[in-house]
């Protein structure tokens, strides 16, 4: 099911008359193609959960429209939208068994959709098999591990064959190892069912690794939407560039003069055809090539050996961060005793942003 958000806005009244309204979601426009896995990404408080609640119908928008396919669902209550929602802490009913939890949505069906007990049981077994918990149907939620509980929550959301599956921070309650496994699972389940899935996360790695498309938000405003690699390679503004990627992108106070990028008194890169102006120079950690005669000189702090590659930690007076982290292949031999280290830069890994608007130049 294609999901379209048109001028979607959600405004929460301020706590008192004096306080300004909080605009959690500000004039959103985007289209989610059918059958894709979408990661809604942003720092906490950016309105991503509110967006999810608007799509599920738990919140009503202040303005704008939500379309599922050709149907306008803006004024429909949640139960009539046919969405499956997985909560951050799963919200499994603790007094019901796994099977009872899964068939709960089915028991609510009315009219000609009503199912017999046998049909419900079969359906429960079917979705339980899909998420690989079919051996746990008789258990209570508290007898399950965190990962198993999450699978139950997904099974419950899938049982009624939702038009859209929504997941709120689905992996945040799992430990690191389980998180990796579960995100693969999520991807597999989404592929197997083909249901349009939107999940919310503040973890950029999580979003990048499994999403077909990522939507980056900040302060209720949509920043960028695109394929993970595209957004990473072509960030539209400084915020997106800084939010995506670990280690974080290195940002320098620089300028464009005479077709060259200047950091301090070094011209580090050719950019012919761009007008002169002060800019933020953002360089991905993998954008550095150590070179004894390199154009860019930094003070060497230390070298962290990771085996496959090496992280060079250095400093520069124009850097906005405390350290500059550059990841280089272990083939380069860095003299750890040297006071400085020189780099050449990969043009594709260097992004320039306007000093004022922080938009990409």
Where on the chain is the footprint of another protein (CB under 8 A)? 56-58, 77-80, 83-85, 87, 89, 91, 93-95, 104-105, 107-109, 142, 156, 160
**Residue 107 or 357 having the CB closest to another protein:** 107
**Residue 200 or 244 having the CB closest to another protein:** 200
**Residue 106 or 251 having the CB closest to another protein:** 106
Closest distance to another protein from the beta carbon of 131 (Å): 17
Phi and psi angles of residue 140, each rounded to the nearest 5 degrees, phi first: -95, 155
Between the CA of residue 46 and those of 140, 183, 219, 236, what are the distances in Å? 35, 23, 4, 18
Dihedral sign, Cα of residue 64, residue 79, residue 192, residue 232:
positive
Using DSSP, state whether 133 is helix, strand or coil. Answer: coil
Count the Cβ atoms, other than its own, within 10 Å of residue 17. 6
Would you say 340 and 264 are in contact if contact means Cβ atoms under 8 Å apart? no
Closest distance to another protein from the beta carbon of 78 (Å): 5
Closest distance to another protein from the beta carbon of 292 (Å): 59
User: Which tokens belong to 24?
Assistant: 């959690």
Closest distance to another protein from the beta carbon of 167 (Å): 12
**Residue 56 or 314 having the CB closest to another protein:** 56
Contacts of 359 (CB under 8 A, 6+ apart): 236, 237, 353
**Residue 71 or 230 having the CB closest to another protein:** 71
**Residue 31 or 80 having the CB closest to another protein:** 80
Closest distance to another protein from the beta carbon of 172 (Å): 14
Would you say 146 and 90 are in contact if contact means Cβ atoms under 8 Å apart? no
* Cα 166 from Cα 48, distance rounded (Å): 12
Residue 354's H or E segment, with its range, is strand 350-354
To 5 degrees, how large is the angle CA 210–CA 5–CA 199?
A: 25
**Residue 57 or 147 having the CB closest to another protein:** 57
Closest distance to another protein from the beta carbon of 94 (Å): 5
Would you say 78 and 57 are in contact if contact means Cβ atoms under 8 Å apart? yes
126 closest CA partner among 95, 88, 99, 93: 99
Closest distance to another protein from the beta carbon of 348 (Å): 44
């Amino acid at each position: 099911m294609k999901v379209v958000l048109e001028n979607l806005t959600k405004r929460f009244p301020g706590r008192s008359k004096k306080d300004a309204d909080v605009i959690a979601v500000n004039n959103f426009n985007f289209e989610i193609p059918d059958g894709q896995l979408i990661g809604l990404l942003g720092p906490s408080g950016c309105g991503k959960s509110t967006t999810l609640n608007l799509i599920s119908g738990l919140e009503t928008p202040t303005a704008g429209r939500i379309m599922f396919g050709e149907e306008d669902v803006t004024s429909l209550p949640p139960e009539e939208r046919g969405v499956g929602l997985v909560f951050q802490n799963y919200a499994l009913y603790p007094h019901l068994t796994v099977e009872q939890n899964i068939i709960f949505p089915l028991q609510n069906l009315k009219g000609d959709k009503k199912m017999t007990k046998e049909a419900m049981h079969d359906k429960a077994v079917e979705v339980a098999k899909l998420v690989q918990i079919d051996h746990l149907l008789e258990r209570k939620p508290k007898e399950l591990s965190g990962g198993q509980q999450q699978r139950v929550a997904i099974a419950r959301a899938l049982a009624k064959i939702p038009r859209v599956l929504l997941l709120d921070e689905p992996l945040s309650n799992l430990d690191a190892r389980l998180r990796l496994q579960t995100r693969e699972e999520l991807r597999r389940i989404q592929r197997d069912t083909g249901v349009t899935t939107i999940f919310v996360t503040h973890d950029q790695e999580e979003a990048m690794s499994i999403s077909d498309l990522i939507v980056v938000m900040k302060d209720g405003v949509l920043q960028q939407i695109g394929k993970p690699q595209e957004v990473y390679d072509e960030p539209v503004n400084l915020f997106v560039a800084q939010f995506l990627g670990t280690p974080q992108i290195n940002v320098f106070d620089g300028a464009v003069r005479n077709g060259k990028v200047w950091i301090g008194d070094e011209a580090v890169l050719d950019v012919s055809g761009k007008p002169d102006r002060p800019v933020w120079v953002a360089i991905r950690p993998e954008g550095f090539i150590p070179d004894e005669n390199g154009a860019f000189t930094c003070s060497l702090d230390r070298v962290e050996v990771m085996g496959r590659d090496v992280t060079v930690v250095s400093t520069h007076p124009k850097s906005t961060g405390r350290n500059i982290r550059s990841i280089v292949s272990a083939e380069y031999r860095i003299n750890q005793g040297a006071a400085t280290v020189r780099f050449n830069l990969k043009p594709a890994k260097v992004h320039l942003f306007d000093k004022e608007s922080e938009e990409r130049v």
